[in-house]
Amino acid sequence: MKNPDKKKLKGSALAFGLVIMSAVAIMLTSIIGFVVGQTKYSLRIHAREQAFQIAESGTHFYRWYLAHQVEGRTAQQVQDFWTSGNPYGVATPYEAEYKDPGGSAVGKYRLEVTAPTLGSTVVVVRSTGWTYKYPNDLRVLEVRLRRPSWSEHIVLANDFIRFGAGTEVFGTIHSNKGIRFDGVAHNIVSSSVATFNDPDHTGGNEFGVHTHDAPADPLPPAAVPTRTDIFEAGRMFPETTVDFNGVLGDLSLIKSVAQAGTNGSRYFDNTHQGRHIILKTDDTFDIRTVQSFVASTNEINNYSGGWQTYAIPNEGVIFVEGHVWLEGAVNGRRTTIVAANLLSSSLKNIYIGKDIRYTNYDCTDILGLIGQKDVEIIKSSETDLKIDGALLAQSGRVGRANYGTSDIKSVITVYGALATNLRYGFAWTNGTQNWGYITRNLYYDNNLLYCPPPYFPTSTQYEMDLWEEK
């Protein structure tokens, strides 16, 4: 006789076993699914990281590419490269394959490049990277490259320069020779020499950037003191030399731009001594030919012909093949004004006696003033003189002549930047008496960092100054 209870027990055990097996199967399936999902996720994350690295390599490639295409070229050659040299990524996107260290191709990057506008060096590179395994997972980087302008230094010199006690400077300073600094520098002070013989001090060679503010720096080869009380951002030497002779190439380009009338640019020939230019806030300038001037004071003696009026070029230049006497103000204009004769041994100057001012201090108004020889303050200059702009003396100096101990002026204020081939200065001393401008204020215009004057000289290398992921 069969036992019904045993049958029930067997059935229950089988059902229980099936439940356990089902639960285990579900758990295993979930675990496997989780592991597979995590693996896919990890692979996806790895692929996205690879795509990022590929995009980044594209930006580095373009900087390398520019270094081989334009470094060491003249300003005209650089402009020709961008306008007619068919640079990668400008007219059409440029794509290249990316290989891992083992040489296997893992993906590609695509470069889309915005070339510099005329008068600028700013290049925007958009790099998109992806892997072959996940071609739809894109990483996009955008970087900005530029050749730093000479207007990025409050003072740039091809000669020894000295800043006395009590001087406070905002903005970077560089000299190809050496610097003695006894004031307070809030930014980096650099020199192209490791040591030099300070012409204002007897004794042995001193550091390329040194101070005599107590305690005076020791002499080389001693360790260089930190001196954060003087050099708040530090001092650097030796650094790369800035080529003032190379500015001749920039002047040649500026002349051709003026003659072509680019962006309303204006060219004036070498008639008589030069031109007197008065900038006006209605976006025009008055100009008149100077027939003669007093060489001992640099003041205009008489004119030839009458005044003429033209529009001030925006993002353009005014090129005079003679001296320029400049004054006035601008409102909404970014312009470079040049005095140079590239076909004669008679070098030309910019002369200043009255204020040169901006209306706006937000990159809307930018002036570059380039003298082939000097940027000179004349004898009859205003006793409280204000100059807004980036000043450059290519073969001479920015400054004011020695008009004797009775020639005493109050204040000169330069808001912008100053580049000078020879040692600059607006005052004189005999040790017991000072004359010229008694108070001299130099304020760096931070707008010049990203809004340099059009066609102003630059360094030869592209630097990356902005990086962001899109």
10-residue mean pLDDT series, the chain (470 residues): 54 66 71 59 73 95 93 84 91 94 92 90 95 92 92 95 86 95 94 94 91 94 95 95 91 95 96 98 98 97 97 97 98 97 94 98 96 98 97 97 94 95 91 88 90 90 88
pLDDT at 443: 92
Token output for 28: 């295993």
Give yes or no for a contact between 174 and 157, defined as CB atoms under 8 angstroms apart.
yes
| Cα gap 316→294, rounded to integer Å | 31
Maximal C-alpha separation, the chain: 143
| Cα gap 285→314, rounded to integer Å | 12
Give yes or no for a contact between 368 and 336, defined as CB atoms under 8 angstroms apart.
yes
| Cα gap 79→116, rounded to integer Å | 9
Across the beta sheet with 105-114, what order do the strands follow?
94-99, 105-114, 123-131, 139-146, 463-469
In the numeric block, the tokens 């270094």 are attached to 67
Beta strands (DSSP E) in 40-122 are 94-99, 105-114
pLDDT at 96: 96
| Cα gap 111→8, rounded to integer Å | 75
Give yes or no for a contact between 437 and 465, defined as CB atoms under 8 angstroms apart.
no
pLDDT at 461: 85
Task: Indicate the helix (H) or strand (E) that contains 399.
Answer: strand 398-400
pLDDT at 374: 98
pTM over 0.75: yes
Q: Burial code of 320-358, b = ≥16 C-beta within 10 A, e = fewer? A: bbbbbbbbbbbbebbbbbbbbbeeeeebbbbbbbbbbbb
| Cα gap 420→242, rounded to integer Å | 11
pLDDT at 165: 81
pLDDT at 2: 53
Give yes or no for a contact between 349 and 323, defined as CB atoms under 8 angstroms apart.
yes
CA distances from 61 to 57, 97, 110, 176 (A): 6, 12, 11, 31
The DSSP code for 239 is -
Q: Count of residues for the chain? A: 470
SS3 58: helix
Task: Indicate the helix (H) or strand (E) that contains 173.
Answer: strand 172-175
pLDDT at 197: 93
Could you tell me which of 383, 392, 435, 433 has the C-alpha nearest to residue 413?
Answer: 383
In the numeric block, the tokens 């003696």 are attached to 301
